[in-house]
Structure 1
Amino acid sequence: MAALADLQQHLTRFWALPYHEDLALDAKLKDVQSWQQTRIKHTHSDLFEQPKNQLMADYFLTQLYGGDEFKLLAKQLARILPKAQKLERLAKESALEAGSMGIQAAILAIELDLHLAQWLVAAALPVNEENMLAAYRAVDEADERRVQIRNLKEVCYRTDKHLNSFMLKKAFALAKGTAYRYNFQPLYDFIDTGFKAMKPLKSVSDFIEPFCERELIIIDQVHDTDNGGKPMTFGVS
């Protein structure tokens, strides 16, 4: 299946990242990711704190934003993917595509923050707002950050489309027992978490559109150095 082939490529790219073998870089990346999570929660507090959005906010911060939870998932997937042909009988291609895209989005988030961490390590600087702003500008990956936001949006709309199809949703639910029996539960649960996060939403666009709009504004402001002044502060110490 194309989705599973893509997933294998994503994981191969993930395990090739240098922080897996570099303790100092790994520690700095964790600091960057923790700062980013705090920043995202602060930036989108009005959106994230709405009761209907809380599962979706948690999905973004724990599933689509890397960290130790994603590393555990990647280890589990590396173990099960060699037997992945069995998954053809367990889930529809569209569900697996949504899961694969989600994993790709998580890996891209890690890669972009890794580049910030590498710059901070080289400059011997701690993670704080001033240094993160300097790192963003020095690394200069505004276009890549915009791709990241587009990918997050695509993951949400793909997952929502699957969730709103009764036949696809039913087939996926029926596959749970078999997926667990064949030890495919990590991938199944990753996809299912996205479905559950979106279920309380009347419309996924009510969450993802304001989230992406605000993130794109921040990207523009962070990288706008024409006037020589600072952009809107991140609001994170």
Structure 2
Amino acid sequence: MTALADLQQHLTRFWAMPHHQDDALNAKLKEVQSWQQARLQKTHRELFEQPKNQLMADYFLTQLYGGEEFKLLAEQLARILPKAKKLERLAKESALEAGSMGIQAAIFAIELDLHLAQWLLAQDLPVNEENMLAAYRTVDEEDERRVQIANLKDVCYRTDKHLNSFMLKKAFALAKSTAYRHGYQPLYDFIDTGFKAMKPLSSVSDFIEPFCKRELSIIDQVHDTDNGSKPIAFGVS
């Protein structure tokens, strides 16, 4: 399966999610996503505020964790993908694969947060730390959250590999004007944003490894129900 065909499957799954036809659920999902973004910013403040990491932090919060910017991208891609076969000749397959993996990671994040939103809506509960902890534990997608973190790491290392290949980077840069001319700007820009976010990093592992380690620790705390304690790293009201 080509990267674009794979991407089409991811988008089909995204548009089949129930919040697109349910205003109350969509509103609750937005609340959950806003809470998640605030939680990520607080949990990883020291990492995110380092000057070299700021573009990468913004890429995570605005691109890989869903939200309104991703929905706009999905709407644009839905229009261009049916006629985007030419793009596979304009950009290297490895670059398209990196973009497809990033979009898949964003959709998976939305999917997991949607399940939390569905539970909170069914219980008529506001989005706060106590209720989010209850939602995490009731929905019980510990394994899926670990897969989410592994996917994010894979996206980062795959994109970094492409960025560090002179030939691939050059080919991608040369494809920009043609991609724009044929209306493929949204997908090109999504991939390019990932490249630009990683460029200031001396090593992508310096960002993604501590990020993933902390997130996995939080998953452990969230699902440690033996002592009933709150995860100390949530820290968001």
- Give the TM-score category using the shorter length: over 0.9
User: Which residue in 1 is equivalent to 2:158?
Assistant: 158
Once residues 228 and 208 of structure 2 are traced to their aligned partners in structure 1, the CA distance between those partners, rounded to angstroms, is 32
Deviation (angstroms), 1:233 = 4.8
C-alpha displacement of 1:2: 1.3
Provide closer, same or farther for how the CA distance between residues 233 and 55 of structure 1 changes in structure 2, counting only shifts above 3 A. closer
Structure 2 equivalent of residue 189 of structure 1: 189
TM-score normalised per structure 1: 0.99
Q: How far 1:88 moved relative to its partner? A: 1.7
Deviations 1:131-156 (A, max 9, x none): 00000000000100000000000000
> Over residues 60-119 of structure 1, what are the superposed CA-to-partner deviations in whole Å (9 max), with x where a residue is unaligned?
000101111000000100100011210122100000000000000000000000000000
| 1:39 matched to 2:39 | yes
Where does residue 114 of structure 2 map in the other structure? 114
Instruction: Kindly report structure 1 stretches of 4+ aligned residues shifted beyond 3 Å.
Output: none
> Which residue of the partner structure matches residue 91 of structure 1?
91
Secondary structure, aligned partner of 2:135: helix
**How far apart, CA to CA, are the structure 2 residues paired with 1:233 and 1:180?**
42
Name 1:76's counterpart in structure 2.
76
In the alignment, does 2:207 pair up with 1:207?
yes
Alpha-carbon distance in 2 for matches of 1:37, 1:230? 19
- Contact kept? 2:43, 2:233, Cα under 8 Å: no
Aligned ranges for residues 136-155 of structure 1 at < 5 Å? 136-155=136-155
SS of 1:218 mapped into structure 2 = helix
State the alpha-carbon separation in 2 of the partners of residues 121 and 12 from structure 1: 24
- Backbone CA RMSD of aligned residues: 0.7
User: Does 1:101 pair with 2:101?
Assistant: yes
Does residue 124 in structure 1 map to residue 124 in structure 2? yes
Q: How many aligned positions are there?
A: 237
Does the residue aligned with 2:64 lie in a helix, a strand or coil? coil
Query: Partners in 2 of 1:204 and 1:134 — Cα distance?
Result: 34
1:85 is paired with a residue whose SS is: coil
The residue type paired with residue 177 of structure 2 is: G
Does residue 218 (structure 1) correspond to residue 214 (structure 2)? The answer is no
Q: How far apart in 2 are the matches of 1:230 and 1:181? A: 52
